[in-house]
Amino acid sequence: MNQTTNQSCLPDLPANLSTTRFSLRPVTANDATFFWRHFSDPTIMAYIREPASDKQAFQAIFLDDLAAGEKYRHYRMIIDPPTNDTIGIILIRPFSESPVPLAAPIMEMGYMVTQKWWGKGVAYEVAHFYHQTAINHWGLDQMLAVVQPENRASVRVLEKCGFKATNKTSADGKAVVYQWRA
């Protein structure tokens, strides 16, 4: 087991990965517009947080975080190879939701898919693949994800990946913490 909140202690996941239908690649500065479109879209952000409203500030923070090197280290952009379109984001990062009490540091999985690809199995295919890749690469014995119960599609994705609802909630009480254990 290699549970830690310090990402720099974790070996890098392979940079470029592929599922049956999609490619996963590291985040680059060229993704600033994609991040802005997603994080400012009220429909996409409905179950995540308030949409971003200041494009210039959002992109400046994104580029600063990207340049610092650590925040986006285990994020991957989801690419549709036939069109080369970026259709989403998958990530694994140290879980940082307060005040959820944890006995040991744990990694968290999250994902976001472009609305036109909703209902086409993208989230499950990529989440299952990236989850398994991280488990095998790092030897994890548990992982968390946070989802609002009203986001039934995301709940189904997590359940299909073997996550189970816990009795813990997010700081604002709106989301449930799901946990996967080996």
State the SS3 of the chain: CCCCCCHHHCCCCCCCEECCCCEEEECCHHHHHHHHHHHCCHHHHCCCCCCCCCHHHHHHHHHHHHHHCCCCCCEEEEEECCCCEEEEEEEEEECCCCCCCCCCCCEEEEEEECHHHCCCCHHHHHHHHHHHHHHHHHCCCEEEEEECCCCHHHHHHHHHCCCEEEEEECCCCCCEEEEEEC
What token pair was written down for 166? Answer: 């816990």
Integer Cα distance of 117 and 107 in angstroms: 26
pLDDT of residue 35: 95
* pTM of the shown model: 0.89
Q: Using one digit for the tens of pLDDT, what is the confidence trace for 90-113?
A: 998 888 765 555 555 688 999 999
pLDDT of residue 164: 96
Separation in Å, CA 29 to CA 64, 75, 128: 10, 13, 26
Q: Which CATH number among 3.30.460.20, 3.20.20.140, 3.60.20.10, 3.40.630.30 corresponds to the domain 7-181?
A: 3.40.630.30
pLDDT of residue 73: 87
pLDDT of residue 169: 86
Integer Cα distance of 12 and 169 in angstroms: 30
Separation in Å, CA 125 to CA 24, 38, 179: 12, 20, 18
pLDDT of residue 86: 97
Show the low-confidence residues of the chain (pLDDT under 50).
1-7
pLDDT of residue 4: 39
Q: What is the mean pLDDT of the chain?
A: 88
